Amino acid sequence: MRPNYVGGAWVAAQQSAPNINPSDIKDVIDEYASGDAALVDQAVQAARAAFSAWARSGPQVRADALDIIGSEILARRAELGDLLAREEGKTLPEAIGEVTRAGHIFKFFSGEALRPHGELMPSVRPGVQVEITREAAGVVGLIAPWNFPIAIPAWKIAPALCHGNCVIFKPADLVPGSSWVLADIISRAGLPDGVFNLVIGPGSLVGNAMVNHPGIDAISFTGSVSTGERIARAAIERRVKVQLEMGGKNPLVIVDDASLEQAVEVAIQGSFYSTGQRCTASSRVIVTAGIHDAFMRRFTERAKALVVGDARDKATQIGPVASEAQLDQNLRYIEIGKSEGAKLLCGGERISGKTDGYYFTPAVFAECSNSMRISQEEIFGPVASVIRAANYDEALAMANDTPFGLSAGICTTSLKLATDFKRNAQAGMVMVNVPTAGVDYHVPFGGRKGSSYGTREQGRYAAEFFTTVKTAYTGL
Ligand code: UN1
């Protein structure tokens, strides 16, 4: 059994859960300890004991630790990528790319630790000086989803440690393998005991205990809307900081003047890669009348030709769905789409592979309206709802007519339309001629409306969540 890591020690548990390969459900990667509320409490005590010294540790100590972690991740990217593909089901190139991103995130925050920000200025009162500094937010609870088993943990843990916080980290219990290795790497990076703690286990026990623990000062969560809303309520009741990254129903607008080949590529990537299991996926493709039919022909042709298979098979372009529950949800939405009158042009079926896995073919729905459930609700699978728009203005209005606001894309060769879309798309991230999914690690990540709550993740902006501001006055 792979144990949890609490207070600088590896701790076995009474319960454990298997980590199963979605490409081959007979392949059990390992058993992982399943923690509970008592273990969360132990982790919080350890973190609290470590906090004041860690919060006062110098930039060099933090930069060195983060650099060691980033270097080991990058050196082991092929091995960790293989594990990630095996446990989550994204293809090997995607998985190795994700591990590389995680390594780069630690390197970025290693540098960031050496760039503390502060302001010094005269007071409005003569003879008084004002300093504005940032201090660590405290003991932070980090809760990660299953679709990015190492990059999302990295983009929460690295800034937390960089800014002097102590961490209680709960990975998704569906994919604990990459997080376990990450914890092992972190455990050897020279951090004092208690600064970083790993508690694997179900959300109902571990997540719940974290959210309600009086010793946790801030919660950063990525996952479903319903869990996010519960976490927000609990956090606000305790008046602790909360940062939520939830769903998306991201529009990709394709206008008449777009380059057809580029638009098809952007749509295929955004809708189907990583098996559509990204909150940034383009699940609504809104196409203006002049290019609609030509686009549909090429898009459907390309979608049909995508090779679905074992995540670690070199020929595979689309890996399996990550779990049976997610596969069932995809199939349910295919039925919903058909019953709403959308036309299924291809895919949407469970298929068998060489091994027993959760294989599902990329689906293209045509003749959708923006008000259908398949155009409004996040499916989290490789399912694209294509909606016809009369012109750009109608496309923009539909793009914004959604409860979500994470990422929004446009394919156009017009500077005027690209500029207008960047200004008027109601989303945290806007993409012109690049897929809605696949973001950089050094710039802010986050959305608006029902997608996100709280300050942005990643890059310099991560400091807003992981620090608290202090204003000091000194009489001279
Ligand atoms: C990306 O598109 O590169 O859960 C990242 C998600 C997002 C991350 C997307 N929080 O899909």
Mean pLDDT, range 191-219, rounded to an integer:
98
Q: For residue 407, which atom of ligand 1 is closest to its CA?
A: 2
Instruction: Supply the mean pLDDT for the chain.
Output: 98
Instruction: Give the separation between CA 228 and CA 226, rounded to whole angstroms.
Output: 5
Q: What are phi and psi of 55, to 5 degrees?
A: -65, -25
Percent of the chain with pLDDT over 90: 100
* pLDDT of amino acid 379: 98
Instruction: Label residue 218 by pLDDT band (50, 70, 90).
Output: very high
Ligand 1 within 6 A of 155 CB?
no
Q: For residue 437, which atom of ligand 1 is closest to its CA?
A: 2
- Whole-angstrom CA distances from 424 to 287, 393, 394, 442 are 17, 11, 13, 24
pLDDT, tens digit, for every residue of 242-269? 999 999 999 999 999 999 999 999 999 9
Instruction: Give the separation between CA 34 and CA 201, rounded to whole angstroms.
Output: 4
List beta partners, residue 6: 9
Mutate to test the pocket of ligand 1, among 142, 148, 275, 456 (most ligand atoms within 8 A of CB): 148
Instruction: Label residue 89 by pLDDT band (50, 70, 90).
Output: very high
Catalytic residues: 245, 279
List the residue whose alpha carbon is closest to atom 7 of ligand 1.
279
* pLDDT of amino acid 241: 97
pLDDT, tens digit, for every residue of 365-409? 999 999 999 999 999 999 999 999 999 999 999 999 999 999 999
In the chain, the domains with their CATH numbers are: 4-246+451-475 (3.40.605.10), 251-432 (3.40.309.10)
Q: For residue 148, which atom of ligand 1 is closest to its CA?
A: 4
Instruction: Give the separation between CA 414 and CA 253, rounded to whole angstroms.
Output: 13
* pLDDT of amino acid 473: 98
Instruction: Give the separation between CA 395 and CA 255, rounded to whole angstroms.
Output: 8
If you measure from the C-alpha of residue 365 to the centroid of ligand 1, how many angstroms do you get, rounded to a whole number?
23
If you measure from the C-alpha of residue 471 to the centroid of ligand 1, how many angstroms do you get, rounded to a whole number?
35
**pTM of the model as a whole:** 0.97
If you measure from the C-alpha of residue 50 to the centroid of ligand 1, how many angstroms do you get, rounded to a whole number?
31
Ligand 1 within 6 A of 358 CB?
no
If you measure from the C-alpha of residue 214 to the centroid of ligand 1, how many angstroms do you get, rounded to a whole number?
30
Mean pLDDT, range 213-228, rounded to an integer:
97
If you measure from the C-alpha of residue 447 to the centroid of ligand 1, how many angstroms do you get, rounded to a whole number?
11
pLDDT, tens digit, for every residue of 276-289? 999 999 999 999 99
Q: For residue 145, which atom of ligand 1 is closest to its CA?
A: 4
